[in-house]
Structure 1
Amino acid sequence: MNRLPRRRPLIAGILSAAVSSLPFGGRSQSRLPDKSLRILVGFAAGGGSELMARVIAPQLERRIGRRVSVQNKPSGADIAAGDLFKRDLGQGLIVAFMPSTTLPTTPTGSPFPFDSQSKLVPLTTAGPFQIAFAVAPRTGIKTFADYVAWVKAEPKERARLGTTATDLYLQTYALMIGRALDVSYQIIPHQGAAPLVEALAEGSVPAGIGSVTTVLEHNFGGEVKILATSGARRAWVLRDIPTLKELGYPGLELQDWYGFFASSASPPEIIAEWNRQLEAVLLDKEVMAALAQLGCDVETCTLAEAAARLAANIEAWTQRMRAVGIKMKN
């Protein structure tokens, strides 16, 4: 089933506008297989990756004249793209849509039942994403400086930091935040934004981190208050929220990217065609506007550029994990 889960009015409106604005004519000639195609989101429903994929899929479907569905990971595990993707390697019928931070955990031996760096090929970036640092409104904290003073006043009681996923990259970034603030955090992972928001409301954690796209609707709904983001510059959709770099923490600048990935066993002409069609869809003005409202400013690239960016990303995260003491696989 690929039914759209319930959304708050904000998110539902974005998705509806993106789909309703799409043209019905003008299909592109495509060399993609003349079969139903899938965009795999290797996470449970409700995350930022799924929201974006459900904006992109209808436009791609209308452009190429083939059925395009979005598939989620049905269980609670966060990193599941590898398990699902393995079944369709080489057919060219499925692409994975996921944050670039999914693959750097491979050196620790966790996410994929195969060597992801040799079996997967990045097709294109979709756009960068930032991490949001948020607190529970019940704390009364208004600014990141207020939070730093607050947590340091009673660190034994207050130094608990939740995450929206069990991904190693969020654990790594949480440790980086702790080092920058000189706070020894108890890191408490959650499987999605909704469980983290519930924990914030209940008071089991006073603060949490997750991608801007994942946390955004809860911020606008008043369930969390975003105090800062991790980007080099402010997110378009959060123009009033400062970056951690602005606030005096340049070492916490962090901006990764969402991207599409295919099997490296797919025919080269199919890989090239996926790149061509996805780039055209991502640069559609209605899709760009919808993704911007979800916290992603579209940025595409060539196959060669995508490969270079992924290699650099994996190296950067390997260094970050080593720096905070995470043991790497030999």
Structure 2
Amino acid sequence: MHRIRRALLLVAALAPLCAAAQPAAWPTKPVRFVVAFAPAGPADIIARLLGQKLGEALGQAVVVENKPGAGGSVASALVARAEPDGYTLMINTSSYAVNPAMQRSLGFDPDKDLTLASLVASSPNLIVTGPAVKARTLRDVLAEAKSGNWNYGTAGAGTTPHLTAEYLFKVLGKMNVTHVPYQGAGPALAAAMAGQTQLASVALPAAVELVKSGRVHGLVVTGAKRSPALPEVPTVAESGFPGFEDVTWVGVFAPARTPEAILQRLNREVAQIQRDPDFQARLAAAGFEPLSGGLAEARDYLRAEMIKWSRVVRDTGAKAD
């Protein structure tokens, strides 16, 4: 009897410590999505589509806040310093995997300060011409550009559309063209429409409606096949460069040391949303495809992407402008 009583007293004494060791219920207040690029780009599109669905699933508002700059590194550094409590998350693109090879000083450690909680979606990149450009095929653009000073805009140095264009224009096309970085795909497209640049290289979802409305001309997509969102736009491979393929992906990042239970729940909720027919239809209409995977798969994917893009940076000689 005395042993039972002592055991019960021990359990009672340890109960508060066990409770303290458990993470508090999450979420109990609004969650913030810090978007690494300006409005109208792929990260922003996903943040708003996912934020609406995630807010419904969690029972808390998801607030979207754009913090563009330095190819996504401004937002990364900000979120890296945030409390690791699940209330400040980042929506970033594959630029996160590119920037370590592009920038000498990031303001954060990509291997230690942030973690990829979930992959969300991917899309091919798209190269468009502004209304002043009369050439309608990639071959014609390459030929015309050799006789003049051409430039192209992107969402920023270190984004995959930047490296896509560098490799296509300079390595394959032998084209002398100047890169003009902006703080998002929206500003890059606006510059092309205004004639400030002849071309723009962006993730496809940012330009779907502009191409459909005729405000820019879709030159090529970088996927292995044509995009259902813009079926009339040929691939790079169809345009004379077989085997060319490249995509931009979008994911949800959290500060390192965020409790594993929160990361696991976030990953599960995103996976559930990806199975929602309405979410799938909205992704498809914008030119995205779901990109799924658990926490371990997401982290392995990011590691492989960082290795891949470091090689591309080396091969193209691309620099942070």
Q: Specify the TM-score bucket, using the shorter chain as the normaliser.
A: 0.7 to 0.9
Matched, 1:161 2:155: no
1:86 to 80, 83, 106: 80
Aligned counterpart in structure 1 of residue 28 of structure 2, from 25, 29, 34? 34
Aligned twin of 2:284: 292
- Three-state SS of the structure 2 residue aligned to 1:40 is strand
Which amino acid counterpart does residue 132 of structure 2 have in structure 1? R
1:82 alignment partner AA: S
Of 312-321 and 191-200, the range deviating more from structure 2: 191-200
Q: CA RMSD in A?
A: 2.4
Aligned residues, how many?
A: 295
Q: Which runs of 4+ in 1 moved over 6 A?
A: none
Alpha-carbon distance, 1:228 to partner: 0.5
Q: What is the CA deviation profile of residues 4-48 of structure 1, one whole-angstrom value per residue up to 9, with x for unaligned ones?
A: xxxxxxxxxxxxxxxxxxxxxxxxxx9533222122212222322
Q: Which residue of the partner structure matches residue 233 of structure 1?
A: 225
Q: Which residue of 2 aligns with 1:253?
A: 245
Q: Is the 8 A contact 1:44 1:78 kept in 2?
A: no
TM-score, reference length from structure 2:
0.83
Give the aligned residue type for 1:317. W
What displacement does 1:60 show?
1.1
1:266 corresponds, among 258, 264, 275, to 258
C-alpha distance in structure 1 between counterparts of 2:26 and 2:93, whole Å: 24
Shift in alpha-carbon separation, 1:108–1:188, aligned structure 2, 3 A: closer
SS in 1 for 2:112: helix
* Gapped regions of structure 1 (runs ≥ 5): 1-29
Residue 317 of structure 1 deviates from its aligned partner by: 0.4
Query: Separation in 2 of the partners of 1:48 and 1:168?
Result: 11
Quick one: which of 193, 209, 215 aligns to 1:223?
215
What do residues 87-145 of structure 1 show as CA deviations (whole Å, max 9, x unaligned)? 42411212211112223212344574221222222122112122111112332222223
Residue segments in structure 2 that go unaligned for 5+ positions in a row: 1-23
Distance change in 2, residues 1:108/1:191 (3 Å): closer
Rounded Cα–Cα distance in structure 2 between residues aligned with 1:111 and 1:170: 21
| d(CA) in 1 for partners of 2:282, 2:77 | 30
For residue 117 of structure 1, give the secondary structure of its aligned residue in structure 2: coil
Higher Cα radius of gyration: 2
TM-score by length of 1: 0.81
Which amino acid in the other structure matches residue 213 of structure 1? P
The equivalent position to 2:100 in structure 1, one of 92, 103, 106, is 106
- Percent identity of the aligned residues? 26
Q: Partner letter of residue 308 of structure 1? A: D
1:147 pairs with one of 135, 138, 141: 141
Structure 1 247/290 Cα, relative in aligned 2: closer, same or farther at 3 Å?
A: same
CA contact (8 A) 1:159 1:183 kept: no
What is the rounded CA distance, in whole Å, between the counterparts of 2:181 and 2:111 in structure 1?
26
For the structure 1 residues 196 and 67, does the alpha-carbon distance in structure 2 shift closer, same or farther, using more than 3 Å as the test?
A: closer
Structure 2 CA distance for partners of 1:107 and 1:148, relative to 1, 3 Å: closer
| CA shift in 2, pair 1:198/1:97, >3 Å | closer
Partner Cα separation in structure 2 for residue 294 and residue 57 of structure 1: 16
Matching of residue 128 in structure 1 with residue 122 in structure 2 = yes
CA distance in 2, matches of 1:111, 1:40: 21
| Cα shift at 1:256 | 3.2
**Contact 1:31-1:273 at 8 Å conserved across structures:** no
SS of corresponding position for 1:38: strand
Alpha carbons of structure 1 residues 34 and 47: separation in structure 2 relative to 1, 3 Å: same
Q: Which residue is 1:63 aligned to?
A: 57
3-state secondary structure, aligned to 2:96: helix
Residues 124 and 324 of structure 1: is their aligned pair in 2 closer, same or farther, counting only changes over 3 Å?
A: same
Question: Is the Cα–Cα contact under 8 Å of residues 32 and 273 in structure 1 kept in the other structure?
Answer: no
Matched, 1:206 2:198: yes
